[in-house]
Amino acid sequence: MVDAIIVAFLFLSFVAQVVLPLNAWAYVRFTYPRLRRRFREEPAFPVNLIVPCKGTNRHLPDNLRAISAQDYPALTVRFVTDTADDPAVAVIEAVIRETGRGTPLVAGFDGLTCGKNHAELVAIAADATSEVHLICDSDLRPAPDFVREMVRPYLDPSVNVTCSGRRIVPDRPSLGALAYAMAVGFATMLLAFRPVTYVWGGCFSVRRRAFIEWDVRRLWRGTEDDDLVLCNAMNERREKPVFVPTAVSPSHEAHATVRSLLGWLVRQGQTARIHYRPAWLLLFLVETSLCLGSLGAAAWGAFALATGGFSWQVAAAWIPIFLIPVGGLLTKAPYLERRDMPLWLWSLLPVFSHIIVALAFGLAVKPTMRWGDKVLEFNKDGTIRAVGALRNKGGRRPFFGRRAS
């Protein structure tokens, strides 16, 4: 029985720490370049680039400047805020004056549809000509060919969704920021795993035809999520997104503390549980098994070595421990030329990353979700049932309307 458990855990660790990262490396280095060479033409169809913005920080001007300076002629850039007095508005107006490109939009509020979803729907409704709607979070600082790369796969008429990811370049090397960079690295790695339909909501695009035929507008209304809802729509039609590694962009915004990171991960876990339950359950079981299994394997291996000497069981129990840093390095491998954090951190941080992700996805069973200064309650179909104010020591914070920011 013990031998079977040891072999099973060794297999799980090898798949999670070696096979998945190597799959991403092969996709980035070989599979996608071969796919890209099939598109001999340059894309020229109209694109609606949607940039939801909320608040400001010292990175926002450079981010929006990079988004506005895209090397793509048939491009409409729409910067969307909830209100006209959002702090981001002044930055948006300055960037538009400087670059000569961009349109500001004020989305307002819409019942139980969360701010980002509503902003995207307003920007899509304002566009009548673009063939592709492209979502780009305002924390990204994309290269000039970002749009061109994201829409290139649409030269294949069968493609309806493309997606990409981000890499975190922390300003300060705090544990929270570095662990966040590690977790985002793992998430970007999973975008290349074809058996699971996965899109990151901060960087994806959808063909206009698919958006209409799949009735995505209806699916996004009354929810806080756009990407996993879109994944469900693709699964129903047996569609797959095209991951575009050449569009992976840097982000200089990171969680400064472990507490902030844990809160964000819990919310990601809750979103997955509500809208994409099989993926949430799989990730929770794998991460929990890796954490508890590694601890148990290390203890059992040490005990077996002390009492019976070295054996293949001891080696098999300890190999998964050494595979953890290997997995971190292999996750970084497809993007070695891109600077973010030192390689030795990519080998050390996976231990903490697995622990905090397992903890967060376990806490995701909580039925209500904290969203900014609001608390969301959900119906069984994933739509928002009610929005309340977050309780604090002073009682309830006031809020107006039934809307999530």
Mean pLDDT of 372-397: 78
Asked, for residue 66, whether it belongs to a domain, the answer is yes
Is the pLDDT at 397 greater than 80, yes or no? Answer: no
Tell me, yes or no, whether 372 and 359 share the same domain: no
Give the CA-trace dihedral at 104, 110, 115, 120, to 10 degrees: -50
Beta bridge pairs of residue 389: 374
CA-closest candidate to residue 56, choices 111, 7, 95 = 95
Tell me, yes or no, whether 63 and 145 share the same domain: yes
Is the pLDDT at 247 greater than 60, yes or no? Answer: yes
Asked, for residue 167, whether it belongs to a domain, the answer is no
Is the pLDDT at 346 greater than 70, yes or no? Answer: yes
pLDDT of residue 404: 36
What span, in angstroms and rounded, lies between the C-alpha atoms of 208 and 189? 27
pLDDT of residue 42: 93
**Mean pLDDT, the chain, whole residue set:** 92
Which helix (H) or strand (E) segment is 174 a member of? none
Tell me, yes or no, whether 212 and 321 share the same domain: no
Phi and psi at 260, nearest 5°, equal -65, -45
Tell me, yes or no, whether 47 and 142 share the same domain: yes
Mean pLDDT of 44-70: 96
Residue 311 has a CB neighbour count (10 Å cut-off) of 12
User: By mean pLDDT, which of 181-195, 250-264, 279-293, 378-392 is the weakest?
Assistant: 378-392
Share of the chain above pLDDT 90, in %: 84
Mean pLDDT of 360-378: 91
What span, in angstroms and rounded, lies between the C-alpha atoms of 142 and 147? 9
pLDDT of residue 388: 84
Tell me, yes or no, whether 209 and 357 share the same domain: no
Asked, for residue 189, whether it belongs to a domain, the answer is no
Tell me, yes or no, whether 220 and 95 share the same domain: yes
pLDDT of residue 121: 97
Instruction: Tell me whether strands 166-168 and 249-251 are parallel, antiparallel or unpaired.
Output: parallel
Q: Using CB atoms within 10 Å of the CB of residue 73, give its burial: 0 to 12 exposed, 13 to 18 middle, 19+ buried.
A: exposed
pLDDT of residue 2: 77
Tell me, yes or no, whether 213 and 359 share the same domain: no
pLDDT of residue 392: 57
Tell me, yes or no, whether 351 and 203 share the same domain: no
Name the band, by pLDDT with cuts 50, 70 and 90, for residue 254: confident
Is the pLDDT at 359 greater than 50, yes or no? Answer: yes
Is the pLDDT at 395 greater than 50, yes or no? Answer: no
Mean pLDDT of 313-329: 94
Torsion sign (Cα): 29, 10, 317, 291: positive
Q: What is the pLDDT of residues 120-139, one digit of tens each?
A: 999 999 999 999 999 999 99
Give the CA-trace dihedral at 226, 228, 232, 234, to 10 degrees: 80
Q: What is the pLDDT of residues 188-200, one digit of tens each?
A: 999 999 999 999 9
Q: What is the pLDDT of residues 163-183, one digit of tens each?
A: 999 999 988 889 999 999 999
pLDDT of residue 373: 78
95, 386 contact by CB (below 8 A): no
pTM: 0.92
Mean pLDDT of 12-41: 95
27, 104 contact by CB (below 8 A): no
Beta bridge pairs of residue 348: none
Is the pLDDT at 398 greater than 60, yes or no? Answer: no
Name the band, by pLDDT with cuts 50, 70 and 90, for residue 400: very low
| Count, residues in the chain | 405
Is the pLDDT at 396 greater than 60, yes or no? Answer: no
pLDDT of residue 309: 86
What span, in angstroms and rounded, lies between the C-alpha atoms of 275 and 273? 6
Output the six-digit token pair for 23. Answer: 């799959």
Number of domains in the chain: 3
Domain that holds residue 341: 2-18+279-363
Tell me, yes or no, whether 65 and 149 share the same domain: yes
Output the six-digit token pair for 30. Answer: 């070989």
CATH number at residue 221: 3.90.550.10
Asked, for residue 226, whether it belongs to a domain, the answer is yes
CA-closest candidate to residue 181, choices 38, 50, 338 = 338
